[in-house]
Amino acid sequence: MRLTQIAALCLAASLSTAAFANDKVAAVVNGTEIPQAELDAFAQQVVNSSGGRVKDSPELRAELKQQMINRTVILQEANRRGLEKTSEFKTRMEIFRKDLLQQALFEDIAKQNPVSEAQVKTEYDRIKARLAGQKEMRARQIVLNSEAEAQEIISQLKKGGKFDELAKQKSKDPAAKRTGGEMGWVNLGAVPPQLADALKALGKNQVSSQALRSDVGFHVFKVEDIRDAKVPTFEEVRPQLQRQMQSAQIEKVLIELRNKAKIQ
C-alpha cells in the first residue's frame, strides 16, 4: 500500500481520538493551530499501520504535515459554507456515530474476553496435528452450472483441451476466469472431506473423470503437482491466528446478544 493511502486511512482516527496537551505548534492555517502532538500521533499511526513498510523520518513528517494543512483548509471552507448544518451531513454523522459505537463495542468485548498466548498456542498445536503428515496438491478447477456442462468439459479435456484456457472461457467462478482455475497449494487436511477425497483420487497431471457437486456448482479438477504438506511455524501464523480467535470470541458474544434480544 502506498504511503498516501496508508496516511489517508489513519488521518481521521489520529485527529479524532487523541488529546493534545503539548503547546508546540506544527503549523498555523488562517489562524487555526495544528498542534505538533497531533502531527506526532498521525505519524505514529501511519508507521504502526504500515506493517514495517514505513519508517518515521523528516520526509514522512513533511508529507504528513502538508496533508494536515490541506485537511485544515478543507474543513475551514466546509465550515464557512455551513455544510455541517445540512440534513445530509447530519444523516452521515449519525451513520458514522453508529459505526464508531459498534467498533467500540467490539473493542470492549475483546478487552473483556482476551485471547491468551497459551490459547493461541493450543489452537496452533491442534491445527498442526491435523495438517502434519498430509499431502499438498497444486490444483486447478473449473466450476460449471450443470453436470452436463461439466461432462462436456471433461470430454474436451480428454481430447487434449487445455485446462487453463477452458477455465478462462467456461468457468462460472470469476477468480478461475482470471487465473485459469488456479487454486494454489491445497492441504488435504485443511479442506472439506468431499474436496479432499476428490483431489486424492487424482495423480499428478490427472484430470477429474467425474465432476464434484457443491453448493456453488459442479467442479472439475486438475492436479498439477503433489508434495508433503508444509506446516508454518507458530511465529509465522500467531498474529493471524490470534485475530481469528479474537474475532470468534466477539462473534460468540454477538450471537448470545442476538438470541437474548426481543425481536418482533
Range of the domain at 36: 3-109
pLDDT number for residue 52: 75
| 8 and 97 assigned to the same domain | yes
| 105 and 137 assigned to the same domain | no
Residue 193 lies inside a defined structural domain of this protein: yes
List pLDDT tens digits, range 50-79. 777 888 999 999 999 999 999 999 999 999
List pLDDT tens digits, range 240-254. 999 999 999 999 999
Mean pLDDT of 2-18: 48
Residue 208 has pLDDT above 80, yes or no: yes
Banded model confidence at residue 22, pLDDT cuts 50, 70, 90: low
| 101 and 178 assigned to the same domain | no
pLDDT number for residue 108: 95
Residue 164 lies inside a defined structural domain of this protein: yes
| 149 and 52 assigned to the same domain | no
215: domain CATH number is: 3.10.50.40
The tally of domains found in the chain comes to 2
Residue 250 lies inside a defined structural domain of this protein: no
Residue 94 has pLDDT above 90, yes or no: yes
| 101 and 156 assigned to the same domain | no
Residue 260 lies inside a defined structural domain of this protein: no
Residue 190 lies inside a defined structural domain of this protein: yes
In this structure, the chain runs to a length of 264
